[in-house]
A and B are shown apart, each in its own frame.
Chain A
Amino acid sequence: MEQSELLCTATDVAYALLCSGAEIYRVEEAVLRIFDAYGVSGGSVFAIPSLLIVSIRHEDSLPLTNIRRIRENGTDVEKIRACNDLCRRICAQRLSAQQIRQELAIIAKKPTYTFGQILVAYAVVAFGFTLVFGGGLLDAVAALIAGAAVKLTLHQLEKYDTNFFFTTILASFVAAAVASLCVVFGLGAMPDKIIIGTLMLLVPGTALTSSMRDIMAGDLIAGLTRLATALIIATGIALGAGFALTLLRTLGVA
């Protein structure tokens, strides 16, 4: 495979992994393994959640560099699995650039669950965790509503280019407000359990886990970035719920 093609291919695979929330070491190893499979030893890669830099230099030729900026980090477990699998196959079978592009296109087109399914999922997560943390059945039903409200809020906010801190505050506000109002209207008796169950939708479990795995692997910049993200989200959750409860209590509602 030609050098620039190899560079672009490796970058594309790594980019797909990074956008789906893979660990930094997985992204960087993917690039190096692909280079290795095609016999290129002068490759370099650097990745953090918001930036990917890949460079290739084969023997006496000039080095080529490709950089990709990542604006939005989602988590897509299936895409991570598929890209990881593709990377293995690239190394095992030495696929052509054309084939790799086709495979990547297939992966990119893979559907996520529909909005309706995810809406129900949000509701059920809140429902489940309310029960886990000691809420009653009515509390859990209230959490269904609160969980769905959170997803609707997040969905609406996607249309605007807001930062994740603000989004978290707003979503947490909605969660606490809806949960408290449900209790006011007689659905459920333990507003704190409902709120906690619903807030589990927002807690930065993925950021915390990924940050630890990155730090463990030696990728301190990425690890600390993700850790900061986790802390900011946690603060946003506290602030949002705090605003909602203060507001409702001041109004004499909750």
Chain B
Amino acid sequence: MLEMLYAFGTSFIACFAFCFILNVRDRILFFAPLGGALCWVVYEFLLPFAPMMVCYFSATVALSIYAELLARLLKTPVTSFLLIGLLPLVPGGGIYYTMEYALAGEFTAFLSKLLETISIAGCLALGVLVVSTVVRFGRLVKKHAKKDCSHLPPA
């Protein structure tokens, strides 16, 4: 429990600071890092129970759902929350260790870590894709149901 709080707090601080780099303003300054912290906690929480890739995927799906919900609530583009929120999951460590193994001449470990890093990126991508596709599909269904020409897409 305490580790979860620590994970939440530290990832929130990191994401909050990152908001300043991407020129995030007003209320999103709170809600974007919140998304980042939440998805990181989801990842950490699931890690003992599921394979790493599943955890990354689930955390990304959780973030994407959060982003879509908040985009509608706060009338802001979804990217505001995704760009900040996804940051803790991006495999910076993977890139670093891939490089370290290459430097040390450990070819097998290098390949293994490289594939792992690419796979993580793939899981993140899949997570974003899946939620975006579902949302777009939902919008299309609504559009056809309304049979209305003023279909201004939501933020």
Which B residues are in CB contact (< 8 Å) with A78?
23-25
B-side contacts of A192, CB under 8 Å = 96-97, 100
Q: Is B14 a contact partner of A77 (Cβ separation < 8 A)? A: no
**Interface 0/1 of B21-36, CB less than 8 Å to A:** 1111100100010000
A75-B83, A205-B87 in contact; A128/B13 too (CB < 8 A)?
A: yes
Asked whether, in the complex, the Cβ of B80 is within 8 Å of the Cβ of A81, the reply is yes
Which chain A residues lie closer than 8 Å to B121 at the CB level? 208, 230
A84/B90 contact (C-beta < 8 A), A209-B128, A210-B79 known: no
Q: Do B23 and A122 touch (CB < 8 A)?
A: no
* Inter-chain contacts of B21 with A (CB < 8 A): 118, 121-122, 125, 201
Is A23 within 8 A of B103, CB to CB?
no
Asked whether, in the complex, the Cβ of A112 is within 8 Å of the Cβ of B23, the reply is: yes
**Dominant secondary structure at the A interface:** helix
Provide the bound-state CA to CA distance between A123 and B11, in Å. 14
Question: Within residues 56 to 95 of chain A, which ones have a CB less than 8 A from any CB in chain B?
Answer: 75-81, 84-85, 88, 91
CB distance from B90 to the nearest CB of A (A): 4
Cβ A80 vs Cβ B80 within 8 A = yes
Are A113 and B20 also in contact (CB < 8 A) when A84-B155, A125-B14, A213-B79 are? Answer: yes
Contact in complex: B152, A128 (CB < 8 Å): no
A76 touches B23 (CB 8 A): yes
> Is A138 an interface residue, CB under 8 A from the partner?
no
Query: Contacts of B100 on A, CB cut-off 8 Å?
Result: 192, 245
- Report which residue of B7, B23, B87, B129 has the largest number of chain A beta carbons within 10 angstroms of its beta carbon: B23
A22 pairs with B83, CB closer than 8 A: no
CA distance A61 to B20 in the complex (A): 47
Chain A, interface residues (CB within 8 Å), range: 35 or more
| A101 CB–B CB distance under 8 Å | no
In the complex, the answer to whether B79 meets A132 with C-beta atoms within 8 Å is: no
What chain A residues lie within 8 Å of B77 (beta carbons)? 22, 26, 80-81, 84
> Does A203 sit at the interface, judged by CB under 8 A?
yes
A75 and B22 CA atoms in complex are apart in Å by 6
Of chain B, the residue at the smallest CB distance from A114 is: B20
Specify which chain B residues have a CB less than 8 angstroms from the CB of A117 in the assembled complex. 20
Interface contacts (Cβ under 8 Å), in number, total 166
B30 CB, nearest partner CB in chain A, Å: 14
Q: Which of A84, A131, A195 contacts B10 (CB 8 A)?
A: A131
B79 lies within 8 A of A129 (CB): no
Interface residues of B in 123-143 (CB under 8 A from A): 124-125, 128-129, 132-133, 136
Q: Is the CB of B47 closer than 8 A to any CB of chain A?
A: no
Q: How far is the CA of A26 from the CA of B80 in the complex (A)?
A: 13
Interface residue from B40, B86, B88, B103 paired with A209 (Cβ < 8 Å): B86
Contact with A along B58-80 (1 / 0, CB 8 A): 00000000000000000111011
Which among A120, A203, A210 has the highest number of chain B CB atoms within 10 Å? A203
Q: In whole angstroms, how far apart are the Cα atoms of A144 and B6 in the complex?
A: 19
CB-contact partner of A124 in B17, B23, B75, B87, under 8 A: B17
A122-B21, A132-B11 in contact; A33/B99 too (CB < 8 A)?
Answer: no
**Known contacts A133-B93, A212-B129, A213-B79: does B17 contact A200 (CB below 8 Å)?**
no
9 contacts between A and B (CB under 8 A): A21-B79, A84-B77, A122-B21, A131-B14, A203-B90, A203-B95, A212-B128, A216-B128, A234-B95
Q: Could you tell me which B residues sit within 8 Å of A by CB distance?
A: 6-7, 10-11, 13-25, 28, 32, 40, 75-77, 79-80, 82-84, 86-88, 90-93, 95-100, 102-103, 121, 124-125, 128-129, 132-133, 136, 152-153, 155
Closest 7 CB pairs of A and B: A128-B14, A124-B17, A121-B20, A238-B99, A131-B10, A128-B13, A205-B90
